[in-house]
Chains A and B, each alone.
Chain A
Amino acid sequence: MQISTNEFLLGSLNDLLQQQQHVNTLDREIATGETMLDASSDPSGAGQVIGFANQVGTLAYDTANGQAATQTLQDSVSTLQQVTNLLDQLSQTASAAANGTSTEEDRQSDISATQSLLQQLVQLANTQDANGGYLFAGSKSNAPAFSTTSSGQVVFEGDAGTNQVEIAPSLSVASTVSGQNVFMNVPAGTDGIAVSAATSNTGNAYAVTQGVTNISQITAASLAGAQYDITFSGSGQSLTYQVTSGTGIPGSAGYNATSGVVASGSFTPGGSVSFAGIDVEINGTPASGDSFAVQPGAATSLFQTAQDLITALGMPQNTGAQASQAQQALQNVLVDIKASQTSVLSAQATLGSSLSEIQSVATQTSAQSANAQTAMSNLQSANMPQVLSNYSESLTALQAAEEAFAKVQNLSLFQYLVP
């Protein structure tokens, strides 16, 4: 079979060009370090690479979110820690005043100290983050969360809006707490049960609720304004108590008994009275006709509690009855401070769990991100030793082909026929 001269040359040339193309591809792979130069070199891998790149990107901004949130969370936590410290001081002041040895002068100086504590508390509650946003104002962070009215009352100006922040795909944690939940809306009393002494009491007793012993007995009716009244009669060994439930002020014209006598019995000073799942401890000796009202504690605020302390410290303690009233007020303040501490602690717990979740997720996301990057690199990166050895092989082959071509193109019978 003959081979046409042109075919002979063109064929070798085509082979040369193919070798060159191969060398060129390997050259690009070496220059970029990647074998997947376009989607057609590995279509299914290309789709995966897009997915992995998106995963890496997503994990990166989730991690950034977590870091930014950490800043805000730590601001909030440290602020709340200071609040807790101030609450401890309030508690110490109240305890000192309630131990019965404080003098009028002590109480006066306590009042000014407490006023300053109250101001500090408001300042802390209005803490701003690095960008000037009020940490505890809910979603209305562009205005101070709390303001003080002309009458000295601290009111909340924000809302209960709290933010979640995405720290991993489909995982969000709370990044803020609202001042509404931390400082305001603290249920007064123990377990939300508050006690108050009638202003007409003449004995020197005060009451402290020990809280709810049986939650099922707290009914909607009791929350809807019903209260229990503990009334004492008799004296000495024949001191007795009687608990009635009703609405309105006991003994007044508007009083409306709902279920009559709930409990009754004789009373030994220093003992406690239990009824309807509630336990009330009566300290001191009540006089006949003295009464205490037990009812669900209305929502109070941390600031209100501080103000209550100032009021209690200012109460006259000239007579035994006055001292009892003051003692009752101080005891209620102590209970409310405890409720505030609980509220602040639970907010700290929420923020703390967000912080720890961010930390543990960060480890996880960086591992995930590394995995995705490895997977992507496996699909994309050139195996350098292999590529380089292919490259030198191809180069050798190309050189050989070129030399062969040079020799072949010189072959012609005509050369030898020339005379």
Chain B
Amino acid sequence: MTGLSEVINAGWSGLDAATEALQTVSNNTANINTPGYDVESVQQAELPGLPGEPGTGAQVTSIQRAYDQFVFSQMVGATSTNQAAQVAQDNAENLTAIFPVASGGEGGLGATLTSFFSGMNAVSQDPTSLPNRQTFLSDANALAVNFNSVGNQLAANLTSLNAQLTGAVAQVNTLTQQIASLNSQIEAQSNSSGSGPPLALMDDRDNLVQQLGQELGITVASGANNTVNIYTAGGASLVAGSSASNLTVTSGSYGAGSSLQVIYQPNGENIGASLSGGTIGGVMSSQAQVVAAQNAVGGLAAAVASAVNTQQSLGLDLNGAQGADLFSVGGPTVLADQSNTGSGTLAASITNTDAFIPGNFIVAKSAGGYEATNIATGQVTALGSGPILSFDGMTLTVSGTVNTGDSFEIEPTASAAQTLTVTATDPSAIAAASPYVATAGANLGNITASAFSSAASGSLPAGTVIVPATQFGQNLTVKFTSATTFNVLNASNTVIASGSFSASSGAEIAIAYPSPPAPAGEVDEMALSPGTPATGDTFSFTPGGVASNGNILAMTGLSSQNLLSGQTLTSAYSTLVGQVGSAGQTASFNAQAASGVLNQVQSVQQSISGVNLDQQAADLVVYQQAYQASAQVIASAQTLFDDLLTAMQAA
């Protein structure tokens, strides 16, 4: 048996439910722009009546948020990947801007190298011209300045990447703390009553998780009582329920100047290598590219400086003196591990740029001797037990005691581009002239003398007469004492060497260069042609005069010689540009793909959790009508009740 009061109660419950639903709609529309907000909906159920009778109204059983754990994880992942790709793309754009290719690479290192050799060629065309020499010196300065500028830009990129890393790690720590704290509130509220999960807190928390994903690639796992646990890609726990673990950024054990490390506080380990995704992942991969570019550009600077300086030392400047260095360039940086137990040190130098492959190395002493590990590629080279260690055109000299387990980081060319400077200021310091010119006397025989050229003493044919370096720069005379023998006399007519001559193969004579500045074993060599000399025939060797271009011509030849890693300077540079370009292209493709994936996942997530205003408008109408109807039920019940009372009074 149902009474009017049941009708009123049911109507009242309908009003109540409609009000709550209307509030949900208004909350949904109010939060349309709230990040991380998941659209909410009311779940209603009938209030059951007695058996065989109608129900007694409606009730709101719960408010639910439209949320899909799987889609949310996907979105966090896509956010991380996208952020890493965007950071990498930004960095790649910065990097490609340093190596311009527009208009044939105008303003880039390649163009400056070409004009450097162009200036050098003008000197070789007329070595006596001071304007030519001055122009060449200016070209050399422009080259050094361009190298400095590229080096500085790369160093600035590294600094900004480091700052980005430090900032991102600080952000990670803040976010994990906040998530842990929200976790604990959610846990408390979920436990306290049966009123349903704290949706707003969970939305907030999930929004923070997504922000965390922006900084770092993470794995999200559901915990008890609506909490979440968060791990890095490498499996280190960042948030476990209500506790968070911090990360710190420090310079590595090789001290200032070595690459930064990300330390996982709970165990003090460097987990940098296992981090991927997010700003941090993007910075990590970008750093490797910038360091590679820095080393390659440094390698170019070191190769130019070394080759030009060596060639300078093999010629005579305008004043007739052996050429001094044109460039100065910083040598390799050696950083000792702070945990080394031995006091030994390592000195590194690049002895052969052509065999040298730019890159940073860790040289460690193991029980089996020293070994070098390329930081970028991980390739290991065994170096033997020292004290002189040679590999890839580098020579390392160990001094003092190095214990097993001690290690050093070697950065051969990290600072070379920044430190390249032109030391010569006087245009006459350019060593254009050959050290010697051979001039035949009034000879009866038919022997002719070749021009002098520099060579390594080891490459000379057997029987070559080598005049010691102490005589270098003096006027020398070759005098035949018979058809098969000759003496070499110095300016004071003292015999300083003698040799034999063959009618069929001639003879070779060389004068050793003072070393340093010239490389050890380097000689200036010439050949006497085969033929018939007469006793008393002479050839005088005199230092090359102002118009001699023998040495600068050899220097211009450097442009087509393999000077760096088996490549010419220009081809090494174009390889570098190609590498930077293809890294940029990959980064740009990745960024496009990642942002496409993110958009896709975002639209899926939004289709589930987003607020559609039209939907809300429709809901508003529905719930409004439900409210009005329920109100009408109560009004009708009241009328019925009044009718009943009136009838009773009338009766």
Contact = CB atoms under 8 A, between A and B. Distances in A.
Q: Do A and B come from one complex?
A: yes
Interface of A: 1-8, 11, 14, 32, 34, 36-44, 46-54, 56-58, 60-62, 64-65, 68-69, 131, 133, 137-142, 158-166, 169-170, 172, 175-176, 178, 180, 184-185, 192, 218-220, 223-225, 296, 298-300, 376, 380, 412-414, 417
8 contacts: A7-B606, A39-B101, A41-B581, A58-B117, A163-B548, A224-B535, A413-B617, A417-B620
Contacts of A60: 118
Interface in B408-443: 433-434, 437-443
B610 A4 contact: yes
B405 interface: no
B111 A37 contact: no
A43 B546 CA distance: 46
A164 B549 contact: yes
A298 B442 contact: yes
A166 B121 contact: yes
Contact of A137 (B104, B114, B547): B547
A3 B574 contact: no
Given A36-B101, A296-B534, A42 B445 contact: no
Given A44-B581, A65-B121, A139-B547, 11 more contacts: A7-B606, A14-B599, A34-B102, A50-B105, A68-B125, A139-B546, A159-B542, A161-B545, A192-B446, A380-B102, A417-B617
A63 to B, nearest CB: 11
A38 B442 contact: no
A220 B547 CA distance: 36
B118 A11 contact: no
Contacts of B332: none
Nearest to A57: B114
B545 A7 contact: no
Contacts of B39: 4
A6 B606 contact: yes
Contacts of B571: 51
A38 B581 CA distance: 7
The residue in A37, A139, A380 that gathers the most chain B C-beta atoms within 10 A of its C-beta is: A139
Contacts of B449: 160
A43 B584 contact: yes
A186 to B, nearest CB: 10
Contact of A133 (B128, B451, B588): B128
A38 B97 contact: yes
Interface stretch (B179-187, B458-466, B553-561): B553-561
A204 to B, nearest CB: 31
B542 A44 contact: no
B248 to A, nearest CB: 34
Contacts of A133: 126, 128, 546-547
B348 interface: no
Contact of A163 (B438, B536, B549, B577): B549
A49 B583 CA distance: 17
Nearest to B607: A1
A142 B104 CA distance: 40
A53 B578 CA distance: 14
A39 B584 contact: yes
Contact of A140 (B115, B547, B581): B547
Contact of A5 (B545, B587, B611): B611
B613 A43 contact: no
Contact of B610 (A7, A137, A159, A225): A7
